[in-house]
Amino acid sequence: MKKPDLQSVKELLDSKVIEYNNRRFIADDPICIPHMFTRKNDIEIAALFAATIAWGNRKSIIKNATQLMEMMDNDPYTYVVESTKSDLKRLSKFVHRTFNGDDAIDFVLALKKVFKKYNSLEELFIVKGDAMKRIEHFREIYIKGFSSSHALKHVSNPAAGSAAKRLNMYLRWMVRNDKQGVDFGIWNKISTADLMLPLDVHTGNTARKLGLLNRKQDDAKAVEEITNVLKLFDSNDPVKYDFALFGLGVFEKF
């Protein structure tokens, strides 16, 4: 493979970050779900559910995530911490692809246990290392609250080689604070420099076409490879290029 002209690629991606990293991006993206809320705990809970079911058709993701918030009375934090068995039953009919009502209930039960001990979900990600290490730490604590094993597959495990796209996206939403109004930046104990690209088929294919990613599989090793390249462009905020790679792949069919 011919080595890419990194300066030219950087200039292209920088221009696309400006084009797509703005509030117009929100309406048709799952991030619109946490943007329904203003309270920190509501945002981080709504964002976790939206990110968790963020695969497949985006209109379907947004529709189903909106329905899930309605099932929680559009007050997710209060619902999580105060829900009774009767309250939880209303989630039993929820379904998005393989994420079903029982999984939703398990997520609420796990969150309920978390908020008895922690003030914010951010605390579950506080450990030395990059985003993958932080996701592993979160997963280890979070899944202890599950009542069954079925929901486990909806919490990515980087230690098993997963790209952890949805949880890396969740971290991007919570940590980045660039004043553009898309990502929330409500967590301040994690550096943007430690974030890693939410790698999916779109960002992966675009990165390969640009000569930034050699690995064929969209796995944890590929995430490390592409993130290290993006750090050459911006060591402090490499995942801002998620907007550019995603925009090129989805909106421009690059």
Give pLDDT, residue 89: 95
Give pLDDT, residue 2: 58
Give pLDDT, residue 135: 98
Percent over 90 (pLDDT), the chain: 94
Calculate Rg over the CA atoms of the chain.
18
CA-to-CA separations, 61 to 9, 49, 81, 221, 252, in angstroms, rounded = 31, 10, 25, 27, 21
- The tens digit of pLDDT for each residue in 70-87 reads 999 999 999 999 999 999
CA-to-CA separations, 214 to 14, 162, 166, 188, 211, in angstroms, rounded = 21, 17, 22, 33, 7
- The tens digit of pLDDT for each residue in 94-130 reads 999 999 999 999 999 999 999 999 999 999 999 999 9
Give pLDDT, residue 190: 97
pLDDT at 197 over 70: yes
Average pLDDT, the chain: 96
pLDDT at 41 over 60: yes
- The tens digit of pLDDT for each residue in 135-180 reads 999 999 999 999 888 899 999 999 999 999 999 999 999 999 999 9
Q: Report the Cα 148 to chain-centroid distance in Å.
A: 23
pLDDT at 1 over 70: no
Residue 3's pLDDT band (boundaries 50, 70, 90)?
Answer: confident
Residue 254's pLDDT band (boundaries 50, 70, 90)?
Answer: confident
Name the residue with tokens 């801002």: 240
Neighbouring-strand partners of residue 100? 95
Q: Kindly report whether the global pTM for this prediction surpasses the value 0.75.
A: yes
